Structure 1
Amino acid sequence: MNKITGCLIAILCLLTTEVAAQSQSIERRAELRATPTGNNSGQSSIQAYQSHVWFHRIELTLSGDLNDNGYYHRLEVEFDADTSQNYQQVFAEFSLLPTYGGERIYYTSSVFELFSDSPGDWLAIDTVLDQRYAPDTYLLTVRLFDAASGYLLAEISGFDDVNLDLLPLEDYSRDSYIDSSTTVEVSAGMTGIAALLALCLLLWGRQKARCA
C-alpha cells in the first residue's frame, strides 16, 4: 500500500510540474474597497451563463511575437465583474480551446472579492505560454466560481464575444525557435561570371588532358 501511495504521489507531482510548465501567469488586481462606487452601468455582452454575478467588462491584449509569424506567446486578460449582492467571494478560471483538441485550463486565480457594481474590484492575469501550445487560433473562456461552494456563477467566452475568439497564439518555445533550414540565393556580377568561366575552362582543360 505504501508503494502504491508513493507512486500516486510521484505521478501527481509529475503532472503538477507538467501543467505548471505550460504557462507562467502574473495576477494583478485593484486595491479592494468594501464601499461600492456605483459608477458601472450596463453589462459587457451576451454571456454563456450568469447568475447574481456577471462580467461587466473584459479586455484582452496579445503581445510577444519573436519570429514575426503572426502568433503571440503572451496574453493579458483584465475584467471587472459585478454582483447583485453587496459582497461576493469568487475565483476565476481561464482556459484556451484550440481549433482541434480539448479545452485546456491555463490558470486558476486566487480568491478575490466583488463589491456590488464597484469598478475597483477588477482582476488582470498576464500570462506567458511556455510549452505545449502549437501555433493555432484559440478560443478563450473565463469562468467565475463561488469561493465557498465552487458553483459556477458566470461564464463568458469567444462563443459570446468575438474579441475572445480566433486568438493567434503559440508557446514561447515555438515562438523563439529559429528554423535551421535556410534558403540560399546566389547572384553574380561580372566577377561571378568571370569566376564561372574560369572554372569551366579549368574543367575543359582537365578533360582534354585525359583524352590526350
Structure 2
Amino acid sequence: MKKIVLATLLLSCSFLSSAEQKPEWKTRSIEKQFSQSRAVTTKSSTQLASSADSTPMLSKQQAPAQTLAARPVIDDPDFWIYDAWVTLEKDTDYDGYYHNIILEFDADTVYAHASVYARLYLSSGGDFYEYHTTDYFHIDGENSQDSYVVETDLLEGFPPNDYELLIELYDTDTDELVATLDGYDDADLYLLPLESNNHEHRSGGQVTVTTEHGGSLGLCAAIMLLIFACYRHRATGSNRQP
C-alpha cells in the first residue's frame, strides 16, 4: 500500500513539474519599416483569410503562437537574414534584466522584390517560445535600407534569465520557411538578460517608523530613582531616632 501511495505522489509531482514547464506568455509589440510604425497583435493574428471558394483558411502567419523543441535548419539560397541588432531597455528594478526588446534585422533575397514575414522566438536553454509574428513586409534584393524593426514589451511568462532570440523568415506567397537566424549565427541574439514586466519588483515607497522607549537611559533613571528612594528612606529613619 505504501508503494502505491509513493508512486501516486511521484506521478503527481511529475505532472505538476511538466505543467510548470509550459508557461503562459504575453507580449505587446510595435513594428516599423521605412519610418512607418504601427501597433500589432502579438502571438500572431487571429483573423482568417478567405480563399477563392470563400472557405476560411488559416495561413502560418495567422496561426497561433508555437513552441519549437529544436531550432529549425533551412538552406534556401534565395533568401537570407544578413544581420540583426538588439537593444534592451526598461529595467525597472535595476537588477540587470530588461523587459523591452528592440530587434532590427535586415533580410535579403536574390529577387528584386519579395514579400515576407517573420516569426520571433525566445529560449532560455530549452524550448523556443514564439512571442511575435510580424505583418507582411517587402524586401528589395540586398538593399540595406529595408531593415525591419520590432519593439516588444515582455508582459508575462518570462522569468529572469539569459535568453536566445531566434528569427524565422517566411515567404508570403508559399508560407514556406526560407531563412533563419539565431544565437549560433549572430552573437547579438545570444545571452540576452530578460524578464517579463510582471517579474520587475517595484518598491511601494519607504515608510519610516519611529518608536520611543526608555532603553538604557530609562533603566539608569529607574536605578537612580531607586537609590534616591532608599537614601530618603534611610535618612527619614535616622531623623526619627531619639
Q: TM-score, normalised by structure 2?
A: 0.60
Mapped to 2, the partners of 1:198 and 1:31 lie a distance apart of 71
Q: Which AA in structure 2 matches 1:154?
A: A
Matched, 1:57 2:61: no
CA displacement at 1:200 relative to structure 2: 3.5
In structure 1, the partner of 2:121 is 95
Secondary structure of 1:198 counterpart: helix
Aligned residue for 2:215, secondary structure, equals helix
Is 1:198 aligned to 2:223, yes or no?
A: no
CA RMSD of aligned residues (A): 3.5
Matched with 1:41 is none
Deviation at residue 31 of structure 1 after TM alignment: 6.5
| Residue in 2 that maps onto 1:127 | 152
Tell me how far 1:120 sits from its aligned partner: 2.5
Does residue 1:138 correspond to 2:163, yes or no? yes
Q: Distance in 2 between matches of 1:118 and 1:82?
A: 7
Conserved 8 A contact 1:49-1:156: no
1:174 aligned to 2:199?
A: yes
Correspondence for 1:26:
30
**Alpha-carbon distance between aligned partners in 2 of 1:69 and 1:104, rounded to the nearest angstrom:** 23
Answer yes or no: is 1:114 the counterpart of 2:139. yes
Q: 1:122 to 1:203 in 2, by over 3 A?
A: farther
Distance in 1 separating the partners of 2:121 and 2:221: 67
1:124-152 superposed Cα distances (whole Å, 9 cap, x missing partner)? 00001011110011000011011122111
* Matched AA of 2:114: Q
Asked which structure has the greater CA Rg, the reply is 2
How far apart are 1:50 and its partner, in Å? 4.3
The one-letter amino acid of 2:109's match is T
Query: Which 4+ residue blocks in structure 1 deviate beyond 4 angstroms?
Result: 202-205
Distance 1:196 1:156, change over 3 A: same
Q: Please report how far the alpha carbon of residue 107 of structure 1 lies from its aligned counterpart in structure 2 after TM superposition.
A: 0.4
TM-score, normalising length: structure 1: 0.67
Alpha-carbon offset, residue 102 of structure 1: 2.1
2:151 match: secondary structure: strand
Query: 1:181-203: per-residue Cα shift (whole Å, max 9, x none)?
Result: x9x9xxxxxxx9x9532244478
In the comparison of the two structures, how many residue pairs are matched? 167
SS of structure 1 residue aligned to 2:188: helix
1:135 partner amino acid = P
1:70 equivalent in structure 2:
96
Identity of aligned residues (%): 27
Q: Which residue of 2 aligns with 1:9?
A: none
1:174, 1:85 → 2: CA distance? 44
Offset, 1:81: 1.1
> 1:95 and 1:202, CA in 2 relative to 1: closer, same or farther beyond 3 A?
farther
Q: Which runs of 5+ in 1 are unaligned?
A: 1-17, 33-47, 185-191, 206-212
CA contact (8 A) 2:84 2:186 kept: no
